[in-house]
Amino acid sequence: MDALLALTSLHMASELEIDNPERAELLSDALHYQSRTFPAFRAELENISPINCDALFACSVLMMACTVVSPSLEIKASEKPEIKGKVPTDLKSLFHLVKGIHSIIDQARPSLDNGSFRFIIQPYSGADPTFLSTEEGLLPPSLRKLCGAMDAPPHHTYRHAVDTLEHCAIAEGMVIPWIVMAGTDFVEQVENQEPLALLIYISWGALLGRLEEMWWAKVAGKTIVQSLAEDIGTENEEWGKVVRWAKSTARIDTI
């Protein structure tokens, strides 16, 4: 319930203007509910069972959504230029939360497969998205070209990140879990603000930004693109193509 109230508070805050005092109160409420969620959640994780697995799965997804969108509601790149160039998502926390979701599914799959969330967990059919067929054109060719032209480490990390993102883009339910598939090395590169890692990260943000049915993913995706695209797209023509694709995919004005 606390996780649900946290996400509800964030949703209400997202509907208000940034200078509305009630917005700040709602963000504070969300943080309060999130802080109350973790102790009980961790305690229940010690003993996953058919009785609590549905609640644990729901709670983990709600906390993941809060982690994705919270930073985006605390900043607004277009009105606060000082935050441009910063990564507007706690990727390490998100990485561990998504891994936690997979862990709950793995430990309680028989019960979850027969429960209310059976249709939701289908996209989480494993950490390897290669069961999906590859489809050309889902990501801009320039992104793969830039990664292919890189010979020095961590070129394997970047190529793997793009390969898995290409697969995940086919099934929208796989876009968010991609961060685990990309791996810890990639997360480190993004948090170190390595330019090519940020370009891949912007592409992921663009795919999040098109998830119309997930308001929190859409808000976070647009913020990722808006916060980083202006600086990262100045490298050269190929970089610019990727950024323009990201803005168009996330439906951000490119003029």
Domain ranges of the chain: 2-249
Per-residue pLDDT, averaged over 220-225, amounts to 91
| The two three-digit tokens of residue 35, written as one number | 């802080």
Residue 233 amino acid letter: G
- Are 228 and 196 in contact by the 8 Å Cβ rule? The answer is no
| Model pLDDT for residues 127-152, shown as the tens digit of each residue | 344 433 444 457 888 898 888 777 66
Extract long-range pairs of 9-18: CB within 8 Å, 24+ residues apart: 9/33, 10/66, 10/69, 10/70, 10/73, 10/216, 11/215, 11/216, 13/73, 14/69, 14/73, 14/215, 14/216, 14/219, 18/76, 18/79
For position 122, what pLDDT does the model report? Answer: 62
Q: What is the largest CA-CA distance in the chain?
A: 55
| The two three-digit tokens of residue 144, written as one number | 């793969």
Q: How far apart are CA 154 and CA 202, in angstroms?
A: 18
| Model pLDDT for residues 22-35, shown as the tens digit of each residue | 999 999 999 999 99
Which among 74, 18, 71, 82 is positioned nearest to 231, based on CA atoms?
82
